[in-house]
Amino acid sequence: MGETHLARRRRLAALVAGHDADALLVTRLVNVRYLTGLDSSRAALLVPAEGPAVLATDARYAGTAEQVCPELPIVVDRLVTEALTARAAADGHRRLGFEAHDITVEHHATLAANAEVELTPLGHLVEELRLVKDEEEIALLREACAITDRAFAAVLPEIRAGVTERAVAIALERAMVDFGAERPAFESIVASGPNGAVPHHRPGGRELQTGDLVTMDFGALYGGYHADMTRTVAIGEPAAWQRDVYDLVHRAQRAGIGAAMPGAETKAVDGAARDVIKAAGHGDAFPHGLGHGVGLEIHEAPLMGYDKTGKLMDRVPITAEPGVYLTGRGGVRIEDTLVVRPGGPELLTTTTKDLLVL
Ligand code: ZN
Ligand code: ZN
Protein backbone atom coordinates (compact mmCIF):
# COMPACT_ATOMS: atom_id res chain seq x y z
CA MET A 1 0.00 0.00 0.00
CA GLY A 2 3.02 2.32 0.41
CA GLU A 3 2.97 3.21 -3.29
CA THR A 4 -0.77 3.84 -3.20
CA HIS A 5 -0.46 6.23 -0.27
CA LEU A 6 2.44 8.04 -1.89
CA ALA A 7 0.39 8.50 -5.07
CA ARG A 8 -2.51 9.89 -3.00
CA ARG A 9 -0.19 12.36 -1.24
CA ARG A 10 1.19 13.47 -4.62
CA ARG A 11 -2.31 14.18 -5.92
CA LEU A 12 -3.06 16.13 -2.73
CA ALA A 13 0.18 18.12 -3.03
CA ALA A 14 -0.94 19.25 -6.50
CA LEU A 15 -4.29 20.42 -5.07
CA VAL A 16 -2.49 22.28 -2.25
CA ALA A 17 -0.31 24.08 -4.79
CA GLY A 18 -3.44 24.95 -6.77
CA HIS A 19 -4.94 26.56 -3.68
CA ASP A 20 -2.01 28.91 -3.22
CA ALA A 21 -0.81 27.32 0.02
CA ASP A 22 2.71 26.08 0.85
CA ALA A 23 1.42 23.07 2.76
CA LEU A 24 -1.74 21.50 4.17
CA LEU A 25 -2.09 20.35 7.74
CA VAL A 26 -4.34 17.28 7.63
CA THR A 27 -6.01 16.70 10.99
CA ARG A 28 -9.09 14.59 10.19
CA LEU A 29 -8.03 11.10 11.28
CA VAL A 30 -9.86 9.39 8.44
CA ASN A 31 -7.97 11.61 6.00
CA VAL A 32 -4.64 10.84 7.68
CA ARG A 33 -5.50 7.16 7.32
CA TYR A 34 -6.34 7.60 3.63
CA LEU A 35 -3.01 9.32 2.98
CA THR A 36 -0.74 7.11 5.11
CA GLY A 37 -2.53 3.86 6.02
CA LEU A 38 -2.21 4.67 9.73
CA ASP A 39 -5.43 3.98 11.63
CA SER A 40 -5.13 5.77 14.97
CA SER A 41 -6.94 8.01 17.41
CA ARG A 42 -4.24 10.68 17.35
CA ALA A 43 -2.27 11.70 14.28
CA ALA A 44 -1.83 14.55 11.83
CA LEU A 45 -0.03 14.90 8.53
CA LEU A 46 1.81 17.83 6.99
CA VAL A 47 1.60 17.70 3.19
CA PRO A 48 3.71 20.38 1.46
CA ALA A 49 2.98 21.45 -2.08
CA GLU A 50 6.53 20.36 -2.82
CA GLY A 51 8.65 17.83 -0.96
CA PRO A 52 7.93 14.90 1.34
CA ALA A 53 5.12 14.76 3.92
CA VAL A 54 5.66 14.54 7.69
CA LEU A 55 3.52 12.40 10.00
CA ALA A 56 2.93 13.14 13.68
CA THR A 57 1.44 10.73 16.19
CA ASP A 58 1.81 9.96 19.87
CA ALA A 59 3.94 7.30 21.56
CA ARG A 60 1.11 4.72 21.54
CA TYR A 61 1.13 4.59 17.73
CA ALA A 62 4.78 5.36 17.00
CA GLY A 63 5.73 1.71 16.45
CA THR A 64 2.73 1.02 14.22
CA ALA A 65 3.39 4.20 12.26
CA GLU A 66 6.99 3.11 11.57
CA GLN A 67 5.72 -0.24 10.27
CA VAL A 68 2.82 1.11 8.22
CA CYS A 69 4.64 4.10 6.73
CA PRO A 70 8.38 3.43 6.85
CA GLU A 71 8.94 5.99 4.10
CA LEU A 72 7.64 8.92 6.19
CA PRO A 73 9.49 11.01 8.76
CA ILE A 74 7.56 10.63 12.03
CA VAL A 75 7.30 13.21 14.79
CA VAL A 76 6.30 11.62 18.10
CA ASP A 77 4.39 14.17 20.15
CA ARG A 78 1.06 14.20 21.94
CA LEU A 79 0.25 17.64 20.52
CA VAL A 80 0.31 16.52 16.89
CA THR A 81 -1.19 19.68 15.43
CA GLU A 82 1.11 22.03 17.32
CA ALA A 83 4.15 19.89 16.50
CA LEU A 84 3.43 19.96 12.77
CA THR A 85 2.61 23.67 12.76
CA ALA A 86 6.04 24.30 14.31
CA ARG A 87 7.58 21.93 11.77
CA ALA A 88 5.90 23.81 8.92
CA ALA A 89 7.44 27.07 10.15
CA ALA A 90 10.86 25.42 10.58
CA ASP A 91 10.66 24.04 7.01
CA GLY A 92 10.04 27.55 5.71
CA HIS A 93 6.34 27.19 4.81
CA ARG A 94 4.57 30.52 5.11
CA ARG A 95 0.95 29.84 4.17
CA LEU A 96 -0.29 26.75 5.98
CA GLY A 97 -3.67 25.41 4.95
CA PHE A 98 -5.76 23.62 7.55
CA GLU A 99 -8.96 21.55 7.44
CA ALA A 100 -11.46 24.17 8.53
CA HIS A 101 -14.21 21.54 8.82
CA ASP A 102 -12.20 19.76 11.51
CA ILE A 103 -10.27 22.29 13.63
CA THR A 104 -12.47 23.86 16.32
CA VAL A 105 -12.69 27.62 16.76
CA GLU A 106 -10.95 27.22 20.13
CA HIS A 107 -8.10 25.15 18.71
CA HIS A 108 -7.65 27.58 15.83
CA ALA A 109 -7.34 30.50 18.24
CA THR A 110 -4.59 28.72 20.18
CA LEU A 111 -2.73 27.74 17.02
CA ALA A 112 -2.99 31.20 15.51
CA ALA A 113 -1.74 32.85 18.71
CA ASN A 114 1.44 30.74 18.72
CA ALA A 115 2.12 29.90 15.10
CA GLU A 116 4.81 31.56 13.03
CA VAL A 117 2.87 30.69 9.89
CA GLU A 118 -0.17 32.17 8.25
CA LEU A 119 -3.08 29.79 8.78
CA THR A 120 -5.41 29.63 5.83
CA PRO A 121 -8.66 27.64 5.84
CA LEU A 122 -8.87 25.06 3.07
CA GLY A 123 -11.92 23.06 2.14
CA HIS A 124 -12.51 19.38 1.72
CA LEU A 125 -9.43 18.69 -0.41
CA VAL A 126 -8.78 15.18 0.87
CA GLU A 127 -12.49 14.32 0.76
CA GLU A 128 -12.43 15.43 -2.89
CA LEU A 129 -9.66 12.92 -3.57
CA ARG A 130 -11.49 10.18 -1.66
CA LEU A 131 -14.61 10.52 -3.80
CA VAL A 132 -13.35 8.32 -6.66
CA LYS A 133 -12.07 5.00 -5.33
CA ASP A 134 -9.20 2.94 -6.69
CA GLU A 135 -9.76 -0.76 -7.40
CA GLU A 136 -7.93 -1.69 -4.17
CA GLU A 137 -10.53 0.23 -2.18
CA ILE A 138 -13.42 -1.21 -4.20
CA ALA A 139 -12.11 -4.74 -3.52
CA LEU A 140 -12.24 -4.05 0.24
CA LEU A 141 -15.74 -2.63 -0.07
CA ARG A 142 -16.80 -5.63 -2.16
CA GLU A 143 -15.63 -7.97 0.62
CA ALA A 144 -17.42 -5.86 3.28
CA CYS A 145 -20.61 -6.24 1.24
CA ALA A 146 -20.10 -9.98 0.70
CA ILE A 147 -19.79 -10.45 4.48
CA THR A 148 -23.00 -8.46 4.92
CA ASP A 149 -24.85 -10.68 2.40
CA ARG A 150 -23.53 -13.84 4.07
CA ALA A 151 -24.56 -12.65 7.53
CA PHE A 152 -28.10 -11.93 6.35
CA ALA A 153 -28.43 -15.39 4.78
CA ALA A 154 -27.14 -17.01 7.96
CA VAL A 155 -29.53 -15.12 10.24
CA LEU A 156 -32.67 -15.46 8.05
CA PRO A 157 -33.84 -18.70 9.76
CA GLU A 158 -33.78 -16.90 13.14
CA ILE A 159 -36.07 -14.07 11.98
CA ARG A 160 -39.54 -15.14 13.11
CA ALA A 161 -42.45 -14.18 15.37
CA GLY A 162 -41.51 -13.96 19.05
CA VAL A 163 -37.90 -12.85 18.53
CA THR A 164 -37.07 -9.30 19.66
CA GLU A 165 -35.66 -6.60 17.40
CA ARG A 166 -32.56 -6.47 19.60
CA ALA A 167 -32.00 -10.21 19.26
CA VAL A 168 -32.13 -9.94 15.46
CA ALA A 169 -29.70 -6.98 15.51
CA ILE A 170 -27.25 -8.85 17.73
CA ALA A 171 -27.51 -12.00 15.58
CA LEU A 172 -26.71 -9.98 12.44
CA GLU A 173 -23.77 -8.23 14.10
CA ARG A 174 -22.39 -11.46 15.50
CA ALA A 175 -22.68 -13.18 12.13
CA MET A 176 -20.84 -10.33 10.40
CA VAL A 177 -17.96 -10.59 12.88
CA ASP A 178 -17.96 -14.41 12.52
CA PHE A 179 -17.64 -13.98 8.74
CA GLY A 180 -14.64 -11.67 9.07
CA ALA A 181 -15.92 -8.14 9.75
CA GLU A 182 -13.80 -5.92 12.02
CA ARG A 183 -17.09 -4.83 13.54
CA PRO A 184 -20.48 -3.54 12.38
CA ALA A 185 -20.04 -0.49 10.14
CA PHE A 186 -22.71 1.43 12.10
CA GLU A 187 -25.45 0.83 14.67
CA SER A 188 -27.72 -1.77 13.12
CA ILE A 189 -31.38 -0.91 12.64
CA VAL A 190 -34.11 -3.51 13.12
CA ALA A 191 -37.58 -1.95 12.94
CA SER A 192 -40.64 -4.20 13.16
CA GLY A 193 -44.32 -3.50 12.56
CA PRO A 194 -45.24 0.13 13.33
CA ASN A 195 -41.59 0.86 14.27
CA GLY A 196 -40.79 0.48 10.57
CA ALA A 197 -42.32 3.93 10.05
CA VAL A 198 -39.27 5.43 11.84
CA PRO A 199 -36.38 5.45 9.33
CA HIS A 200 -33.65 5.25 12.01
CA HIS A 201 -35.49 3.26 14.69
CA ARG A 202 -33.26 1.85 17.46
CA PRO A 203 -33.86 -1.89 17.87
CA GLY A 204 -35.68 -2.51 21.14
CA GLY A 205 -37.55 -5.18 23.07
CA ARG A 206 -40.51 -5.43 20.71
CA GLU A 207 -41.11 -9.01 19.58
CA LEU A 208 -41.72 -9.61 15.89
CA GLN A 209 -45.33 -10.54 15.15
CA THR A 210 -47.09 -12.32 12.34
CA GLY A 211 -48.29 -9.60 9.97
CA ASP A 212 -45.23 -7.37 10.52
CA LEU A 213 -42.93 -5.93 7.93
CA VAL A 214 -39.42 -5.92 9.41
CA THR A 215 -36.75 -3.53 8.10
CA MET A 216 -33.11 -4.38 8.80
CA ASP A 217 -30.36 -1.87 7.95
CA PHE A 218 -26.85 -3.09 8.70
CA GLY A 219 -23.39 -3.59 7.22
CA ALA A 220 -19.91 -4.92 7.86
CA LEU A 221 -16.70 -2.95 8.30
CA TYR A 222 -13.79 -4.59 6.48
CA GLY A 223 -10.32 -3.15 5.93
CA GLY A 224 -11.72 0.21 7.03
CA TYR A 225 -14.49 0.18 4.37
CA HIS A 226 -18.20 0.36 5.22
CA ALA A 227 -20.91 -1.81 3.69
CA ASP A 228 -24.51 -0.62 3.92
CA MET A 229 -27.56 -2.75 3.11
CA THR A 230 -31.25 -2.70 4.02
CA ARG A 231 -33.82 -5.40 3.45
CA THR A 232 -37.48 -5.47 4.50
CA VAL A 233 -39.10 -8.88 5.02
CA ALA A 234 -42.64 -9.99 5.91
CA ILE A 235 -43.44 -12.18 8.91
CA GLY A 236 -46.25 -14.33 7.57
CA GLU A 237 -48.30 -13.68 4.43
CA PRO A 238 -48.28 -9.89 3.79
CA ALA A 239 -51.47 -7.83 3.45
CA ALA A 240 -52.21 -6.28 0.06
CA TRP A 241 -51.04 -2.80 1.19
CA GLN A 242 -47.75 -4.23 2.42
CA ARG A 243 -47.08 -5.92 -0.91
CA ASP A 244 -48.05 -2.73 -2.77
CA VAL A 245 -45.67 -0.56 -0.75
CA TYR A 246 -42.90 -3.12 -1.11
CA ASP A 247 -43.32 -3.29 -4.89
CA LEU A 248 -43.38 0.50 -5.07
CA VAL A 249 -40.11 0.90 -3.15
CA HIS A 250 -38.53 -1.88 -5.18
CA ARG A 251 -39.52 -0.15 -8.44
CA ALA A 252 -38.20 3.16 -7.14
CA GLN A 253 -34.89 1.57 -6.24
CA ARG A 254 -34.56 0.01 -9.71
CA ALA A 255 -35.20 3.42 -11.27
CA GLY A 256 -32.59 5.05 -9.03
CA ILE A 257 -29.97 2.40 -9.72
CA GLY A 258 -30.70 2.55 -13.45
CA ALA A 259 -29.99 6.30 -13.42
CA ALA A 260 -26.70 5.99 -11.51
CA MET A 261 -24.36 6.45 -14.48
CA PRO A 262 -21.12 8.43 -14.79
CA GLY A 263 -21.99 12.05 -15.54
CA ALA A 264 -25.49 11.85 -14.04
CA GLU A 265 -26.50 14.70 -11.72
CA THR A 266 -27.00 13.29 -8.21
CA LYS A 267 -30.23 15.30 -8.08
CA ALA A 268 -31.48 13.49 -11.20
CA VAL A 269 -30.60 10.06 -9.79
CA ASP A 270 -32.53 10.89 -6.62
CA GLY A 271 -35.34 12.23 -8.79
CA ALA A 272 -35.58 9.03 -10.85
CA ALA A 273 -36.46 7.07 -7.70
CA ARG A 274 -38.45 9.85 -6.05
CA ASP A 275 -40.71 10.35 -9.10
CA VAL A 276 -41.85 6.71 -8.90
CA ILE A 277 -42.86 7.16 -5.26
CA LYS A 278 -44.47 10.56 -5.93
CA ALA A 279 -46.50 9.17 -8.82
CA ALA A 280 -47.98 6.60 -6.42
CA GLY A 281 -49.03 9.42 -4.05
CA HIS A 282 -46.43 8.64 -1.37
CA GLY A 283 -44.01 11.54 -2.01
CA ASP A 284 -44.36 12.82 1.56
CA ALA A 285 -43.61 9.36 2.95
CA PHE A 286 -40.03 9.41 1.51
CA PRO A 287 -38.41 12.10 3.66
CA HIS A 288 -34.70 11.43 3.03
CA GLY A 289 -32.26 11.45 0.13
CA LEU A 290 -31.83 8.45 -2.15
CA GLY A 291 -28.38 7.59 -0.85
CA HIS A 292 -24.84 8.57 0.02
CA GLY A 293 -21.25 7.73 -0.77
CA VAL A 294 -19.54 5.01 1.27
CA GLY A 295 -15.88 4.31 1.86
CA LEU A 296 -13.67 4.95 4.87
CA GLU A 297 -16.78 6.61 6.33
CA ILE A 298 -20.32 5.26 6.35
CA HIS A 299 -21.70 8.58 5.10
CA GLU A 300 -19.44 10.52 2.75
CA ALA A 301 -19.66 12.44 -0.50
CA PRO A 302 -21.61 12.36 -2.74
CA LEU A 303 -24.84 12.89 -0.83
CA MET A 304 -27.75 12.10 -3.12
CA GLY A 305 -30.75 14.24 -2.30
CA TYR A 306 -33.16 16.36 -4.25
CA ASP A 307 -31.38 19.47 -2.92
CA LYS A 308 -27.82 18.23 -3.54
CA THR A 309 -25.71 19.18 -6.53
CA GLY A 310 -22.86 17.33 -8.17
CA LYS A 311 -22.27 14.61 -10.72
CA LEU A 312 -21.54 10.93 -10.39
CA MET A 313 -18.30 9.54 -11.75
CA ASP A 314 -16.80 6.19 -12.64
CA ARG A 315 -15.65 4.24 -9.51
CA VAL A 316 -17.76 6.21 -7.01
CA PRO A 317 -19.48 3.84 -4.56
CA ILE A 318 -22.91 4.96 -3.41
CA THR A 319 -26.01 3.53 -1.78
CA ALA A 320 -29.52 3.54 -3.26
CA GLU A 321 -32.04 3.38 -0.43
CA PRO A 322 -35.53 4.64 -1.13
CA GLY A 323 -38.13 4.10 1.58
CA VAL A 324 -41.81 4.65 2.30
CA TYR A 325 -42.79 5.20 5.93
CA LEU A 326 -46.44 5.14 6.99
CA THR A 327 -46.97 6.38 10.55
CA GLY A 328 -48.70 3.84 12.76
CA ARG A 329 -48.58 1.13 10.10
CA GLY A 330 -44.98 0.44 9.18
CA GLY A 331 -42.49 0.97 6.42
CA VAL A 332 -40.31 -0.44 3.69
CA ARG A 333 -36.73 0.47 2.78
CA ILE A 334 -34.53 -1.36 0.30
CA GLU A 335 -30.85 -0.43 0.14
CA ASP A 336 -27.87 -1.63 -1.82
CA THR A 337 -24.26 -0.52 -2.00
CA LEU A 338 -23.14 -0.18 -5.61
CA VAL A 339 -20.29 1.26 -7.65
CA VAL A 340 -20.90 3.63 -10.55
CA ARG A 341 -19.39 2.16 -13.72
CA PRO A 342 -19.49 3.22 -17.38
CA GLY A 343 -21.32 0.03 -18.38
CA GLY A 344 -23.90 0.38 -15.59
CA PRO A 345 -23.64 0.10 -11.81
CA GLU A 346 -21.87 -2.84 -10.16
CA LEU A 347 -24.02 -4.08 -7.28
CA LEU A 348 -21.85 -4.99 -4.29
CA THR A 349 -24.69 -6.18 -2.05
CA THR A 350 -26.42 -8.98 -3.88
CA THR A 351 -29.05 -10.36 -1.49
CA THR A 352 -32.36 -10.92 -3.30
CA LYS A 353 -34.88 -8.08 -3.41
CA ASP A 354 -37.89 -10.32 -3.93
CA LEU A 355 -40.12 -9.90 -0.88
CA LEU A 356 -39.11 -12.64 1.53
CA VAL A 357 -42.08 -14.07 3.44
CA LEU A 358 -40.77 -15.74 6.61
ZN1 ZN B 1 -28.22 1.68 5.61
ZN1 ZN C 1 -27.25 4.10 3.88
- d(CA 30, CA 325) in angstroms, rounded, equals 33
Tell me the CA–centroid distance for residue 185 and ligand 2, in Å.
11
Nearest CA among 88, 79, 68, 86 for reference residue 42: 79
Ligand nearest, relative to CA of residue 215: 1
Q: Are residues 105 and 212 part of one domain? A: no
Residue range of the domain that includes 300: 135-347
Q: Which of 305, 346, 340, 345 is nearest to 132 (CA)?
A: 340
Give the model's pLDDT for residue 150.
98
| Total domain count, the chain | 2
151 residue type, one letter? A
Name the domain boundary from 68, 101, 130: 130
CA of 161 to the centre of ligand 1 (A): 23
CB-based burial, 199-237: b 16+ in 10 Å, e otherwise: bebebeebebeeebbbbbbbbbbbebbbbbbbbbbbbee
The C-alpha atoms of residue 195 and residue 203 are separated, in whole angstroms, by: 9
Angle, to 10 degrees, between the axis of helix 266-279 and the axis of helix 240-259? Answer: 160
Query: Does residue 162 share a domain with residue 83?
Result: no
Q: Could you read off the pLDDT tens digit of each residue along the chain, which spans 358 residues?
A: 578 999 999 999 999 999 989 999 999 999 999 999 999 999 999 999 999 999 999 999 999 999 999 999 999 999 999 999 999 999 999 999 999 999 999 999 999 998 789 999 998 999 999 999 999 999 999 999 999 999 999 999 999 999 999 999 999 999 999 999 999 999 999 999 999 999 999 999 999 999 999 999 999 999 999 999 999 999 999 999 999 999 999 999 999 999 999 999 999 999 999 999 999 999 999 999 999 999 999 999 999 987 778 899 999 999 999 999 999 999 999 999 999 999 999 999 999 999 999 9
Q: Which of 78, 110, 130 is a domain's end point?
A: 130
> Around ion ligand 2, which residues have CB less than 5 A away?
228, 319
- Let me know: does 38 contact 68? Beta carbons within 8 Å: yes
Residues 124 and 142 in one domain: no
Nearest bound ligand to the CA of residue 148: 1
Q: Tell me, what's the pLDDT at 194?
A: 98
Instruction: Provide the pLDDT for residue 1.
Output: 58
CA 229 to centroid of ligand 2, rounded, Å: 7
- What's the CA dihedral at 286, 288, 289, 295 to 10 degrees? -130
Q: How far is the CA of 269 from the centre of ligand 1 (A)?
A: 18
Last residue of a domain, one of 130, 164, 195: 130
